Amino acid sequence: MLKTFAYQSQEILFFAVRMIRALFSRTIYVSETMEQMYLIGVGSLFLVGLTGVFAGQGFAYAFTVELSDFGATTYLGRIMVIAIVRELGPVLTGLMIAARVASGITAEIGAMKSSNQLDAMVAFGIDPMKKIAVPRLIALVVMLPALTIFCDVIGLLGAYVVAIFITHITSTQFWSAVFDRLIFGNIFVGLLKPVLFSFVIAFVACYKGFTSEGGTKGVGRATTESVVLSSILILVVNFLITKVVFSLIKGYL
């Protein structure tokens, strides 16, 4: 198992280098990129919004119970900014996009490979890496941070509802505490993570699609592995980024 994991990690790394090289090539398929941005961004708005509002309300209610014991419910806005902007928004958005988009990318590319469409592209002089992988990478890099911001806003609005109707603090108390913690360090960490998550999702999803074997059964297996591996790597990268970035910009948090 460990040997297989090490081998796959090495193969994904080599594949990622090829994708990065293709990213900086002259040929850019604009129409394909715009289509993927629409499918990833607009197509995920409802899922991300639903996740954000209920996650924000759930965390706000949990924090309310604890803060009320100390008479510190006015700090709810500060805590929610730290929880949502730093961690909850980027991680939940990344996991939702990994579940929805990574599976779709892997299944689509795997189906194209099983039907020999990738070989046909090569025969016509089209690089599948530039035509298929790069537009999806660009779309993820652009849309995942945007979706994370949307999730943050919806999550804070959900927390606001709990603050008004359950915690019984005023709008001024909540939003003043929120804006007090919307500082450079928190925003920087909250936007850096989805950018890195987008690379993880694109690398893993495209790699699993291009290397799928065994027809439709193999495509299904590759799709499952893509979602699982992307989700695990998102959590690992989240911890590493939190550790590294917090040690570097501790004075800005």
SS3 249: coil
The answer for residues whose C-beta is within 8 angstroms of residue 144's C-beta and 6 or more apart is: 40, 93, 94, 97, 194, 195, 197, 198, 201
Average pLDDT on 184-196 reads 91
Instruction: Report the percentage of the chain scoring pLDDT > 90.
Output: 53
Report whether pLDDT(214) > 80: no
Residue 248 pLDDT > 70, yes or no? yes
Helix, strand and coil content of the chain, in percent to the nearest 5, comes to 90, 0, 10
Does residue 48 sit in helix, strand or coil?
helix
HSE, side-chain direction, 13 A CA sphere, residue 95: 12
Determine contact, residues 150/49, Cβ cutoff 8 Å: yes
Q: Tell me the one-letter amino acid at 71.
A: G
- The pLDDT, as a whole number, for residue 152 is 95
Token pair for 117: 């469409």
Please state at what angle helix 215-248 crosses helix 184-210, rounded to 10 degrees. 160
Residue 8 has pLDDT above 80, yes or no: no
**pLDDT band with cut points at 50, 70 and 90 for residue 93:** very high
pLDDT at 1: 61
User: What pLDDT was estimated at residue 251?
Assistant: 60
Domain-by-domain residue ranges, the chain? Answer: 30-252
| Residue 113 pLDDT > 90 | no
The pLDDT of residue 250: 66
29-61 confidence digits (pLDDT tens): 889 999 999 999 999 999 999 999 999 999 999
CB 130 within 8 A of CB 22: yes
Confidence of residue 185 (pLDDT cuts 50, 70, 90): confident
| Amino acid of residue 87 | E
What lies within 8 Å, CB to CB, of 122 at 6+ separation is 128
In terms of C-beta distances under 8 Å and separation of at least 24 residues, what long-range contacts does 182-187 make, across chains too?
182/81, 182/85, 183/252, 183/253, 184/249, 184/252, 185/249, 185/252, 185/253, 186/81, 186/82, 186/85, 186/86, 186/253, 187/85
For residue 5, pLDDT over 80 is answered with no
**pLDDT (average), residues 184-198:** 92
Q: Is it the case that residue 148 has pLDDT exceeding 90?
A: yes
Task: For the beta carbon of residue 180, count every other beta carbon within 10 angstroms.
Answer: 11
The whole-number pLDDT of residue 4 equals 72
pLDDT of residue 60: 92
Supply the pLDDT for residue 126: 85
Query: Would the pLDDT of 143 be above 90?
Result: yes
